Structure 1
Amino acid sequence: MNEIKIDWNSMARAYEEFNNAEDSYSFNIEWPCIKELLPDLNGRTVVDLGCGTGIFTFLLEKSLPSKLIGIDLSEEMLSIAKKKSDENNSNAVFVLHDAATCREVIKEPVDFIFSSTTSHYIGNLEQFFENVSSSLKNGGECIFSIIHPVYSAMYPIEHADGSYPEDEEWNVRYLDKSTRAYIQPWLEYNDDYENHLSKSFHHTFSDYTNAIIDAGLTIEKICEPMAPESWKDSQPYRYEGFIESPVYMILKMRKIC
C-alpha cells in the first residue's frame, strides 16, 4: 500500500487537472449515474472513501449532509482537496488514512458511504467491505463506483523487470489475478508530467459480490453507465471504446438491519 501511496502523491496534480476537465469521465459518465442512485442525504452523515482531491466530495456536499468526511491515503491529494475546501467555504473534513481500514477513523457509524474507483487499489476486498459494513448504521446505504471487472481485466500484467507494457498487452485476462502495471491516462496524455507505472489489482465480479455478501451488505442495484450520446459525434473514438469495454460498474448497497 505504501507504493500506491507514493504513486498517488507523485501524480496528484495531474489527476486533478485530468478529472476536472469538462469532458472527463467523472462528470460525464460516473456522476450522472451516481446522482440517479443517491438517497436523500440532507442532514445525514456521509463519508467519501478514497476521496482524492475531493471531486465527488464537493458534489455530495450539494445534498446538504450534516457531516461530510473525505478519507484518502495521499497527502498530496488531500492537500488539493483542503485548498479547494478553503476556497469554497466547504464544511467537509478531510482525513489522511487508508480507505481499506476506514473503521479505524470512522468513530461512529454513518448513514451513507460513497467511493469512486478505489477498490482496485485494495488487495483484500473482504477486509475492505467488512470495514465499510461496520462503519455503516443498520439500514445505512452506500454507492461504490468501481472500475468494471471487464476493464480491469485488460490492464497489462506487471513485468518482472518493471518495463512498460506494449499496446498489444491491453487484452482481457479475466481470471488472472496477477498485479497489473500501466501508465495512467492523466500522465500518458499530458506532456507536462513524466510517465511512470501505476500498480493495481484485478477483482472479478464474483470477488466483489462475495465480499459484499459476506460483509452483510445487500446489493440493491447495479448500473453500467454509457458514454453520453453526444460523444458519438464529438468524441467517436472514446465513445466506441466505451461500448467495447465499459469502464465503470456502479453498485448501490445497504447494510442489512
Structure 2
Amino acid sequence: MILKTKEEIELIRQSGIILGKAHAEVAKLIRPGISTNELNKRAEEFIIDHKGKPSFKGYNGFPASLCISVNDKVVHGMPGTYELKDGDIVSIDCGVILNEYHSDSAYTYFVGDVHPDIQKLLSVTKESLELGIKQAITGARIGDIGYAIQAHVEKHGFTVVRELVGHGVGKFLHESPEVPNYGKRGQGMKLETGLVIAIEPMVNMGTKNIVQEKDGWTIRTADRKPSAHFEHTVAVNNGKADILTTFEYIEEVLKTKYGQTVIY
C-alpha cells in the first residue's frame, strides 16, 4: 500500500480536473452517427493540449487513449469505425498523466432513446459508485466498499462483475491494493489516510459472467446483455472520502444538451 502525501494528492486532483474536462469534450460529441474513433481523437487532442498524457495509450500495448465499450461490452473496448446508434449505451473510460501522477475515471452514457430498464442499469451503477465511495474512509476495510456496491446492485436485480476490480492509483496507473466491487463488511485490508484508489463498479443487466473478445482486450458479458461502468479516483480520509476526479464538467454538458443531467 503506497500512501500519498497531501502534496501528491493535490497533483492527482489536478490530473483529475484535466481528465474531467476531457470527458466533457467527449460528452459533447456523443450522438447517433459519430464513430468511436472520433471520440477517441477528441479526448487525446484535449489531454495533450492541456499538457497531459493519455494514461491508456501504449499501456501494455493498448492502442488508444480511451476505452470505449458499447452495449454488452463491459470494459477495454477499442475505438474504431463503429458509429453510435440510437438506443446504444457507451462507457467511456479514460486516464490522464499530469506532473507524473495518474487519474482514472469512467462514465456511461445513453445515446438517443434508451429502454427504461437500461436507464435503470446506469442509474443503479452510478448510485453504487457513490455508496462505495462513502465507505472509503480511514479505518474502514476494503470489504466495506465492495459490500456497499454489491448490496445495492443486487437489490435492484443486477449483477457485479467479479474478475475485474478497482485499484490503487498514483505514479502508476495500477497500484496496490485491488478494490473488488463485491465483498463482506469488516473484511479485507484496513484503509489508511492517504491511500488513493480507483473505485469502479462494472454492473451487468444479466449474468455476472464475462468473456474476452478475440482482439485480446475487449471484455463483454457472456449473455450479451448490457453492462454499465462508472469510476472515480478517491483519496481515503477521516470521516469522508476525497473525490479527486470529477463528473461536474460532464454533467454541465448533459444539462446543456438535455435540459437536465438525464437520469443521473
The question of a shared fold, defined as TM-score above 0.5 by the shorter chain, is answered with no
TM-score, structure 2 as length reference: 0.29
Higher helix share: 1
- Structure with the greater relative contact order (CA < 8 A, sep ≥ 6): 1 or 2? 2
